[in-house]
Amino acid sequence: MGPGARAIVGAWPRKGIGHYFNVVNNGDKVIFLDFQTGKANPAEPRYRHCYLMRTH
């Protein structure tokens, strides 16, 4: 995924409820955006399983 690429990430901890958030490659770095919480970079070390779905 190069600059301008976008995707949705689904992430789940070993046990518990998962979460979905957006990811964007702005050319300089990859930014995670969580529109449910309003936070940038919501990825947490507790997530063990992730799925990437490209949207662009």
Token couple for 46 = 């507790």
Q: Is the pLDDT reported for residue 56 higher than 80?
A: no
Token couple for 38 = 């309003």
Which domain, by its residues, includes 44?
6-54
Number of domains the chain contains? 1
Specify the amino acid at residue 2.
G
Could you give the CA distance from residue 4 to residue 49 in angstroms, rounded to a whole number?
A: 25
3-state helix, strand, coil in the chain (%, to 5): 0, 55, 45
> Does residue 1 lie within any of the structural domains?
no
Residues 5-54 pLDDT 10s: 999 999 998 888 888 999 999 998 889 898 888 888 766 677 888 899 99
